[in-house]
Homo-oligomer: A and B are copies of this chain.
Protein backbone atom coordinates (compact mmCIF):
# COMPACT_ATOMS: atom_id res chain seq x y z
CA UNK A 1 0.00 0.00 0.00
CA UNK A 2 1.28 3.43 -0.95
CA UNK A 3 -1.36 6.12 -0.52
CA UNK A 4 -1.22 9.90 -0.89
CA UNK A 5 -3.46 12.45 0.86
CA UNK A 6 -6.31 12.39 -1.68
CA UNK A 7 -6.30 8.58 -1.68
CA UNK A 8 -6.33 8.46 2.14
CA UNK A 9 -9.27 10.85 2.35
CA UNK A 10 -11.28 8.84 -0.19
CA UNK A 11 -10.93 5.56 1.75
CA UNK A 12 -14.02 3.94 3.24
CA UNK A 13 -14.58 5.56 6.64
CA UNK A 14 -14.27 2.40 8.76
CA UNK A 15 -11.27 1.16 6.79
CA UNK A 16 -9.56 4.54 7.19
CA UNK A 17 -10.32 4.66 10.91
CA UNK A 18 -8.86 1.17 11.50
CA UNK A 19 -5.84 1.96 9.31
CA UNK A 20 -4.97 5.34 10.84
CA UNK A 21 -5.54 4.10 14.38
CA UNK A 22 -3.16 1.16 13.86
CA UNK A 23 -0.27 3.02 12.18
CA UNK A 24 1.68 3.41 15.42
CA UNK A 25 1.73 -0.33 16.13
CA UNK A 26 1.41 -1.58 19.71
CA UNK A 27 0.60 1.29 22.09
CA UNK A 28 -0.27 1.86 25.71
CA UNK A 29 -3.80 1.35 26.99
CA UNK A 30 -5.11 2.71 30.27
CA UNK A 31 -8.31 3.13 32.24
CA UNK A 32 -9.29 6.59 33.44
CA UNK A 33 -11.54 6.87 36.47
CA UNK A 34 -13.56 10.00 37.26
CA UNK A 35 -16.55 11.08 39.30
CA UNK A 36 -19.23 13.61 38.40
CA UNK A 37 -20.27 16.54 40.55
CA UNK A 38 -23.34 14.55 41.54
CA UNK A 39 -21.28 11.52 42.56
CA UNK A 40 -21.67 9.18 39.58
CA UNK A 41 -18.44 7.30 38.90
CA UNK A 42 -17.16 6.82 35.36
CA UNK A 43 -14.53 4.53 33.86
CA UNK A 44 -13.19 4.87 30.32
CA UNK A 45 -10.52 3.26 28.16
CA UNK A 46 -7.85 5.49 26.58
CA UNK A 47 -4.96 4.78 24.27
CA UNK A 48 -4.07 8.42 23.67
CA UNK A 49 -2.12 8.92 26.88
CA UNK A 50 1.56 9.89 26.87
CA UNK A 51 4.46 10.87 29.08
CA UNK A 52 4.94 14.65 29.28
CA UNK A 53 7.64 14.92 31.93
CA UNK A 54 9.24 13.25 34.95
CA UNK A 55 9.82 16.31 37.16
CA UNK A 56 7.18 17.46 37.82
CA UNK A 57 5.57 14.10 36.91
CA UNK A 58 3.14 14.88 34.07
CA UNK A 59 1.00 12.87 31.66
CA UNK A 60 -1.08 14.04 28.71
CA UNK A 61 -4.48 12.66 27.66
CA UNK A 62 -6.09 13.52 24.34
CA UNK A 63 -9.87 13.79 24.12
CA UNK A 64 -11.88 13.64 20.92
CA UNK A 65 -14.20 16.48 19.85
CA UNK A 66 -17.13 17.27 22.11
CA UNK A 67 -19.72 16.18 19.53
CA UNK A 68 -21.10 13.43 21.78
CA UNK A 69 -21.23 13.39 25.58
CA UNK A 70 -17.75 12.84 26.97
CA UNK A 71 -18.25 12.17 30.64
CA UNK A 72 -14.58 11.72 31.40
CA UNK A 73 -13.63 15.17 30.12
CA UNK A 74 -16.65 16.83 31.76
CA UNK A 75 -15.86 15.18 35.09
CA UNK A 76 -12.20 16.22 34.93
CA UNK A 77 -13.25 19.79 34.20
CA UNK A 78 -15.75 19.75 37.07
CA UNK A 79 -13.63 18.06 39.73
CA UNK A 80 -10.07 18.80 38.54
CA UNK A 81 -8.92 15.24 39.12
CA UNK A 82 -8.81 11.73 37.67
CA UNK A 83 -7.18 8.36 38.17
CA UNK A 84 -5.25 6.40 35.58
CA UNK A 85 -4.44 2.70 35.80
CA UNK A 86 -2.91 -0.05 33.72
CA UNK A 87 -4.91 -2.67 31.85
CA UNK A 88 -3.80 -6.24 32.54
CA UNK A 89 -4.56 -9.52 30.82
CA UNK A 90 -6.87 -10.35 33.73
CA UNK A 91 -9.50 -7.73 32.91
CA UNK A 92 -8.86 -6.38 29.41
CA UNK A 93 -12.28 -7.64 28.26
CA UNK A 94 -14.02 -5.63 30.98
CA UNK A 95 -11.78 -2.66 30.17
CA UNK A 96 -12.83 -2.84 26.50
CA UNK A 97 -16.48 -3.06 27.49
CA UNK A 98 -16.28 0.33 29.28
CA UNK A 99 -16.37 1.85 25.75
CA UNK A 100 -20.07 0.95 25.40
CA UNK A 101 -22.36 3.97 25.69
CA UNK A 102 -24.21 3.20 28.87
CA UNK A 103 -27.14 5.52 29.59
CA UNK A 104 -26.87 7.84 32.61
CA UNK A 105 -26.76 7.20 35.53
CA UNK A 106 -25.10 3.80 34.94
CA UNK A 107 -21.51 3.61 36.19
CA UNK A 108 -19.18 1.64 33.91
CA UNK A 109 -17.64 0.10 37.03
CA UNK A 110 -20.89 -1.67 37.84
CA UNK A 111 -21.85 -2.29 34.20
CA UNK A 112 -18.63 -4.15 33.33
CA UNK A 113 -17.91 -5.68 36.73
CA UNK A 114 -14.83 -3.82 37.95
CA UNK A 115 -14.60 -2.66 41.54
CA UNK A 116 -14.15 1.00 42.50
CA UNK A 117 -11.79 1.93 45.27
CA UNK A 118 -11.13 5.29 46.96
CA UNK A 119 -8.37 6.89 48.98
CA UNK A 120 -9.47 9.28 51.67
CA UNK A 121 -8.11 12.49 50.19
CA UNK A 122 -8.96 11.94 46.52
CA UNK A 123 -12.39 12.23 44.85
CA UNK A 124 -11.88 10.09 41.73
CA UNK A 125 -12.26 6.28 41.86
CA UNK A 126 -9.44 3.79 41.30
CA UNK A 127 -9.88 0.35 39.74
CA UNK A 128 -9.28 -2.17 42.52
CA UNK A 129 -8.17 -4.88 40.06
CA UNK A 130 -5.37 -2.73 38.55
CA UNK A 131 -1.77 -3.16 39.68
CA UNK A 132 -0.42 0.28 38.72
CA UNK A 133 -2.67 3.13 39.87
CA UNK A 134 -2.10 6.87 39.55
CA UNK A 135 -3.94 9.86 40.97
CA UNK A 136 -3.71 12.99 38.83
CA UNK A 137 -4.69 16.63 39.16
CA UNK A 138 -5.52 18.57 36.02
CA UNK A 139 -2.93 21.31 35.52
CA UNK A 140 -3.57 22.44 31.94
CA UNK A 141 -6.15 22.21 29.18
CA UNK A 142 -5.18 22.89 25.58
CA UNK A 143 -7.36 22.93 22.47
CA UNK A 144 -5.78 21.48 19.35
CA UNK A 145 -7.05 23.71 16.55
CA UNK A 146 -6.43 21.21 13.73
CA UNK A 147 -9.37 19.00 14.68
CA UNK A 148 -10.86 20.49 17.86
CA UNK A 149 -9.48 17.81 20.14
CA UNK A 150 -8.60 18.66 23.74
CA UNK A 151 -5.38 17.84 25.52
CA UNK A 152 -5.50 17.56 29.29
CA UNK A 153 -2.18 17.65 31.12
CA UNK A 154 -2.31 16.04 34.55
CA UNK A 155 0.21 16.04 37.38
CA UNK A 156 0.70 12.70 39.09
CA UNK A 157 0.06 13.23 42.80
CA UNK A 158 0.10 9.57 43.86
CA UNK A 159 1.72 6.42 42.49
CA UNK A 160 0.60 2.98 43.64
CA UNK A 161 2.54 0.06 42.18
CA UNK A 162 3.55 -3.43 43.34
CA UNK A 163 7.11 -3.47 44.76
CA UNK A 164 7.86 -6.84 43.12
CA UNK A 165 7.30 -5.26 39.66
CA UNK A 166 9.76 -2.42 40.25
CA UNK A 167 13.42 -2.91 39.33
CA UNK A 168 16.20 -1.39 41.45
CA UNK A 169 16.53 1.52 39.04
CA UNK A 170 12.83 2.44 39.23
CA UNK A 171 11.72 0.71 36.02
CA UNK A 172 8.32 -1.01 36.28
CA UNK A 173 8.57 -4.32 34.42
CA UNK A 174 5.34 -4.89 32.44
CA UNK A 175 5.89 -8.65 32.60
CA UNK A 176 5.58 -8.35 36.39
CA UNK A 177 2.90 -5.64 36.57
CA UNK A 178 0.85 -7.52 33.95
CA UNK A 179 0.38 -4.39 31.81
CA UNK A 180 -0.63 -5.19 28.25
CA UNK A 181 -0.56 -3.20 24.99
CA UNK A 182 -3.26 -2.42 22.43
CA UNK A 183 -3.29 -1.68 18.71
CA UNK A 184 -5.90 0.00 16.58
CA UNK A 185 -9.32 0.31 18.18
CA UNK A 186 -9.88 -3.22 19.47
CA UNK A 187 -6.73 -5.41 19.55
CA UNK A 188 -4.91 -6.42 22.76
CA UNK A 189 -1.44 -7.90 23.23
CA UNK A 190 0.75 -9.47 25.84
CA UNK A 191 4.38 -8.44 25.63
CA UNK A 192 7.52 -10.59 25.47
CA UNK A 193 10.86 -9.11 26.48
CA UNK A 194 13.44 -8.49 23.77
CA UNK A 195 16.02 -6.50 25.74
CA UNK A 196 16.78 -3.54 27.95
CA UNK A 197 19.55 -1.61 26.21
CA UNK A 198 22.29 0.57 27.66
CA UNK A 199 22.13 4.35 27.52
CA UNK A 200 23.25 5.14 23.96
CA UNK A 201 26.62 6.86 23.53
CA UNK A 202 28.30 7.89 20.26
CA UNK A 203 31.26 5.54 20.68
CA UNK A 204 29.12 2.38 20.96
CA UNK A 205 27.98 0.17 18.12
Q: Is the CB of B145 within 8 A of A140?
A: yes
A30 lies within 8 A of B24 (CB): yes
- How many of chain A's residues have a CB under 8 angstroms from any CB in B? 112
> Is A50 among interface residues, defined by CB-CB distance under 8 A?
yes
- Chain B residues lying within 8 Å of A114, measured Cβ to Cβ, are none
When C-beta atoms are compared, the residue in chain B nearest to A111 turns out to be B202
Instruction: Name the B residues within 8 Å of A64 (CB-CB).
Output: 53
The verdict on A188 contacting chain B, using a C-beta distance below 8 Å, is: yes
Select the stretch in A6-14, A33-41, A67-75 that faces chain B.
A6-14
List which A1-31 residues lie within 8 A (CB) of chain B.
1-5, 8-9, 11-30
CB-CB < 8 A to A198: which residues of B?
A: 186
- Whether A9 lies near B186 (C-beta < 8 A) is no
For window 48-79 of A, CB contacts with B under 8 Å fall at: 48-60, 62, 64
Is A107 in contact with chain B by the CB < 8 A criterion?
A: no
Closest B residue, CB atoms, query A121: B4
A25-B181, A53-B147 known; A189+B200 contact, CB < 8 A: no
Q: Give the nearest-CB partner of A203 in chain B.
A: B100
Closest chain B residue to A19, Cβ basis: B170
Instruction: Give the contacts of A81-112 with B (CB-CB under 8 A).
Output: 86-87, 89, 92-93, 96-103, 106, 111
Q: A52-B149, A159-B2, A159-B8 are in contact. Are A16 and B170 (CB under 8 A)?
A: yes
Query: Could you say which of B8, B55, B166 contacts A156, with CB atoms under 8 Å apart?
Result: B8
- On whether A96 and B197 interact (CB within 8 A), knowing A26-B181, A153-B146, the answer reads yes
In the complex, A160 Cα to B3 Cα: how many Å? 7
Contact with B along A172-205 (1 / 0, CB 8 A): 1110010111011011111111111111111011
Supposing A153-B146, A156-B20 touch, asked if A202 and B52 sit within 8 A by C-beta, the answer is no
Given contacts A17-B54, A48-B51, A140-B144, 4 further A-B contacts (CB under 8 A): A18-B169, A22-B170, A97-B200, A101-B202
